[in-house]
Amino acid sequence: MISNPDVIICGAGIAGLLTGAVLSHKGLKTLVLEKTNRVGGRSNSIEFKEGYVVDNGLHVIRYVKKSPTWKIFKKYLGIKLDLINLGDTKYFANGKWHDYPLSVRALGTTTLFNQDEKTVFGKILVEDILKAKIEPFLEKDVASWINEVENKHDFHSKNARFFLETLAKFMLVSPGMLDLLSVGEFIEGIQTGAKASAGAAYPRGGWKPLIEQLCDIIKKNGSIELNSKVEKVIIEAGKVQGVMSEGNKIQADTVIVNMPCTQIFSVLDEKLFDPAFIQKCKSIRPSAGIFMDFGLRGKISENNGSNISAEPFTMSIFTSNIDPSVAPEGEQLYTILQPTTPEILQDKEKRDEIINGMNNLIEKMFPGFSDLVLWKRVSVGHVVDGAIPLISQHQKIRPSVKGPFQGLYFTGDTYNGPGTGGEIAHSSALLCIQQVLNDLNIE
């Protein structure tokens, strides 16, 4: 372990590693303490069965060169990420595949809408989404916004409405909750996507090499200690003094906590914090989901973009169609996610119902799929994204990356970066990096 660190990072999740890599690269002696025996946290990927590199879910990088991930690597680490762009998104509705009408080209070719629907949907896309200001919409919910848009255009198509609802679920990775989801976050996602050269990309070789690259950068000027739980962040006289970990006191003037804000009071003394801040941190609602990964003996689909289904709402990718190196030659890796809520996952019957529904859906989407299955992994994620982008916890409301004491910072997917899920973790890392460098007067 390095001695006298300038910065201690509590947690080696993706946000902690991104932040740590930049600070280490900028010359700060950086110590990352991780309580488990591995790095990556929820963005971890593993070698599962021989020749398969399997992520936790579908960790694509949305908005590619407009993503916070790209910015952190390019601007702060001087590295051009090796990303593979995803192909076109396909949409499965009413038993058929359709082009996903999010670009002018796909809107022209899609079989999802009739001509009237295409005209009005095009108008909604331009007038109400691409030209809209985000701030006034952050506290407006998706359901009321759709009603307003329908009335404004005097257009009431069940089909177009249902598509807009599914689009919001896709952009915000949510099982529904349309009366609670923030339309500002939804609009911002589509606007960022429109400015990006591609909708989404995947790191070549998967997340494993990318995470290893971040660890190597940290280790050049610091260290990462596994099985090192932080028990306490020491705050005295209004300033951070260091941490207690595994019974040892480690001093540092800067401590960055990379834990979901719902858990930070396991290491921070509640008595020192404002009750409103404590309440805000503890009340952030996560999303949940069921994931299935499959290794397939042969190719069932050539699609190298996202697959979205309407009912049930799922998102899936053939990861090995995007990057063949993540599966053995001639075989195929497929991952599907159905978002749900932590409450539903508590109920075993409902959980089994979702899993059965997903299995049936997969066979409908890709007839003959089950005959090709070599192995299958079912994961139940009780906390998938740390914060769903709801009106009550949108990016401006969630806790700031700068803590209320000198030297205390936060980073991760429950803090105030824009985006959804992993993106929030990455954008909060970007905000945290900027804040720490600014406070320490480092260019």
CA atoms of 388 and 341, how far apart (whole Å): 10
Window of 50-58, 199-207, 217-225, 326-334 that interacts with ligand FAD by CB under 6 A: 50-58
Could you say whether residue 11 binds ligand FAD (CB under 6 A)?
A: yes
Quote the Cα angle for 407-409-415, to 5°.
Answer: 165
Least distance in angstroms from the C-beta of 33 to ligand FAD? 5
- DSSP letters spanning 75-144: IIH-----EEE----EEEETTEEEE--SSHHHHHH-SSS-HHHHHHHHHIIIIIIIT--SGGGTTSBHHH
Contact 64, 197 (CB under 8 A): yes
Residues found in the chain: 443
Could you say whether residue 193 binds ligand FAD (CB under 6 A)?
A: no
Decide whether 121 or 202 has the Cβ nearer to ligand FAD.
202
The SS3 of residue 397 is: coil
CA atoms of 427 and 429, how far apart (whole Å): 5
Could you say whether residue 68 binds ligand FAD (CB under 6 A)?
A: no
The DSSP bridge partners found for residue 373 are 296
Could you say whether residue 413 binds ligand FAD (CB under 6 A)?
A: yes
Residue from the set 20, 403, 407, 422 that interacts with ligand FAD by CB under 6 A: 422
Structure tokens at 317: 């990718």
Least distance in angstroms from the C-beta of 356 to ligand FAD? 20
Could you say whether residue 36 binds ligand FAD (CB under 6 A)?
A: yes
Sign of CA dihedral 194, 196, 197, 199: negative
The SS3 of residue 205 is: coil
Residue from the set 42, 90, 169, 208 that interacts with ligand FAD by CB under 6 A: 42
CA atoms of 152 and 167, how far apart (whole Å): 19
Could you say whether residue 217 binds ligand FAD (CB under 6 A)?
A: no
The DSSP bridge partners found for residue 61 are 201
Could you say whether residue 171 binds ligand FAD (CB under 6 A)?
A: no
CA atoms of 149 and 127, how far apart (whole Å): 10
Residue from the set 28, 295, 423, 432 that interacts with ligand FAD by CB under 6 A: 423
Least distance in angstroms from the C-beta of 105 to ligand FAD? 26
What does DSSP assign to residue 73? Answer: I
Least distance in angstroms from the C-beta of 422 to ligand FAD? 3
Structure tokens at 267: 């290491």
State the burial class of residue 396 (Cβ atoms within 10 Å of its Cβ: 0-12, 13-18, 19+): middle
Decide whether 57 or 407 has the Cβ nearer to ligand FAD.
57
Encoded one letter per residue, x for contact with ligand FAD by CB under 6 A and - for no contact, window 364-393 reads ---------------x-x--xxx-------
Helices assigned H by DSSP within 139-206: 142-152, 158-172, 183-195
Contact 181, 390 (CB under 8 A): yes
Could you say whether residue 6 binds ligand FAD (CB under 6 A)?
A: no
Decide whether 12 or 362 has the Cβ nearer to ligand FAD.
12
Residues 276-335 binding ligand FAD (CB under 6 A) are 291
Residue from the set 8, 21, 28, 33 that interacts with ligand FAD by CB under 6 A: 33
The SS3 of residue 50 is: coil
Least distance in angstroms from the C-beta of 135 to ligand FAD? 24
Could you say whether residue 199 binds ligand FAD (CB under 6 A)?
A: no
Decide whether 5 or 421 has the Cβ nearer to ligand FAD.
421
Least distance in angstroms from the C-beta of 229 to ligand FAD? 4
Could you say whether residue 43 binds ligand FAD (CB under 6 A)?
A: yes
CA atoms of 22 and 360, how far apart (whole Å): 45
Could you say whether residue 412 binds ligand FAD (CB under 6 A)?
A: yes
Decide whether 159 or 241 has the Cβ nearer to ligand FAD.
241
Q: Residue number with the shortest CB distance to ligand FAD?
A: 13
**In the complex, which residues of this chain contact ligand FAD (CB under 6 A)?**
10-16, 33-36, 41-43, 56-59, 229-230, 258-260, 267, 291, 379, 381, 384-386, 412-413, 421-423, 425
